[in-house]
Amino acid sequence: MNIEIKKSQKPVKYDDAISFMEERLKKIDQNKSNDLIWILEHDDIYTAGTSYKEEEILDKSIEILKTNRGGKITYHGPGQLIFYFVIDLKKNKKDIRRFISVIEKTIIETLKYYRISSFPDRENIGIWFNDNKKIKKIAAIGVRVSKWIAYHGFSLNINNDLEKYKAIIPCGIQNKGVTNLKSIKDQNYKDISNKLIENFILNLKN
């Protein structure tokens, strides 16, 4: 499995990231390029997936960028790790549900390494944390599949500004909250991107 690993030190514009992944998707489809994992951050931006509803925007003054990924409205910004990928499922198993499970398992195993217990939810996609019986989202997942090539990815909240979520109903879910790793356990997360990459590749192979 040949996967290029790309890490951006400076924030990447959302539109630029999507254009880059869509171009890579075309090249992979033509067997002209390898699969990709891309770790980055975005500047402040609210994005809406294909199933969002207008009433999920609570603060009408914010700008929303409509995207072609699955899911609803979410926020990206500094302190949030973005894990993008472009992965050819034809070389793997043509099973989208299994691929989502690979993502979920990757995040859960990585957080377990940091002694944080998290879990998926069949009703509400993403990875969740039980904070004194209040269920809060720690990672959002949004995937699109074209020509059996999966792209977009997931975001993991590390030390981002949680106040930003008050402008929206995050991922369309009203009765649950949002948290970040620093709020759960204040420790060093400097190498978390490497652990995520390592687990993702291992889980893809299994």
CA 171/CA 124 separation, integer angstroms: 8
CA 65/CA 135 separation, integer angstroms: 27
CA 63/CA 106 separation, integer angstroms: 32
2 is catalytic: no
Task: State the amino acid at position 13 in one-letter form.
Answer: K
Q: Which of 171, 178, 181, 196 is catalytic?
A: 171
For every residue of 55-119, DSSP letters joined together read GGBS-TTS-EEE-SSSS-EEEE-TTEEEEEEEEETTTS-S-HHHHHHHHHHHHHHHHHHTT---E
Q: Is 167 helix (H, G, I), strand (E, B) or coil?
A: helix
Catalytic residues: 171
